[in-house]
Amino acid sequence: MSFDYTRYLAAKTSMDDRALNRQVLSELSRLIPAEAPRVLEVGAGLGTMVARLLDWGVIDAGEYTLLDVDLQLLNNSRQWLSDWTATRGLCCEPLPDGLRVGDLRVRFEHAELGSFLDAGHGQPADVLIANAVLDLMDVPAVLPGLLRLLVPGGVYWFTSNYDGESIFEPEHPRDGQIMQAYHRDMDERVRYGRPAGDSRTGRHLFHQLRAAGAPPLSAGSSDWVVHSAPDGEYPHDEAYFLGSILRTVADALEDRVEPVELAEWVAERERQLASGELVYIAHQLDLVGRSPA
């Protein structure tokens, strides 16, 4: 299966909608400044989070910056958000560095996070968002810099932090071997010359944030749960998402698992996906709190 990362991000939107912890989201809504906050989202991808927060009435004005290392993805985000506003009947005006959606200015910032932190930054944000990206980082190394992106006492919302459990059903005899190797690959990953991963990011964030002087004020699970409907069809484009997950696992384990064993596991999972049998569960955690005052 060819892989389209933009389609993958769009396909997981419906799962994130279901998974994001509502108690933690409610605390975010309570903490976020009432008038025109400055929001920065790191690893923002396609911009689905800003659309979601507009849709759910969490924000409606201010400035929202999407920071991502993938320039093509940011270009795709401009089109995706424009199309999304059209479906909602919202006013959308193109700007040199982004879009204006109603009273909210959406800016696109192209940068690799480590370099962005090393180079310093402009005006600090009132709210910092990281969705499904902290488990791709060396959190102890980058967390102090991330919190410095906020005004004193600013709000962070760290969501969909992977926490060491991927479940595929029906069970397969090689699940334990495959998942153990996959988590080891996460723990040993290097990107842009830096350590980049922790298979238990979610649980480790509690003491990492406390050590940084920013203990979470609310936390809760945000598990992805994907399964087919009674007719065997997966909702929205979630079959594409599941196929992408299988490809990600296969690519990561190419040199870690015996090729014949890996190919057999993937082939069986792809057969189950095609027949609507495959169930996928990923355990994740959401946390919200304030940066040091």
Please tell me the distance from the alpha carbon of residue 19 to that of residue 221, in angstroms, as a whole number. Answer: 8
The CATH number linked to 211 is: 3.40.50.150
pLDDT for 228:
98
Domain total in the chain: 1
pLDDT in tens, the chain (293 residues): 567 999 999 999 999 999 999 999 999 999 999 889 999 999 999 999 999 999 999 999 999 999 999 999 999 999 999 999 999 999 999 999 999 999 999 999 999 988 898 887 678 999 999 999 999 999 999 999 999 999 999 999 999 999 999 999 999 999 999 999 999 999 999 988 889 999 999 999 999 999 999 999 999 999 999 999 999 999 999 999 999 999 999 999 999 999 999 999 999 999 999 999 999 999 999 999 999 99
Range of the domain at 23: 5-290
Predicted TM-score (pTM) of the model is: 0.96
C-alpha of 246 from chain center? 18
Please tell me the distance from the alpha carbon of residue 124 to that of residue 150, in angstroms, as a whole number. Answer: 5
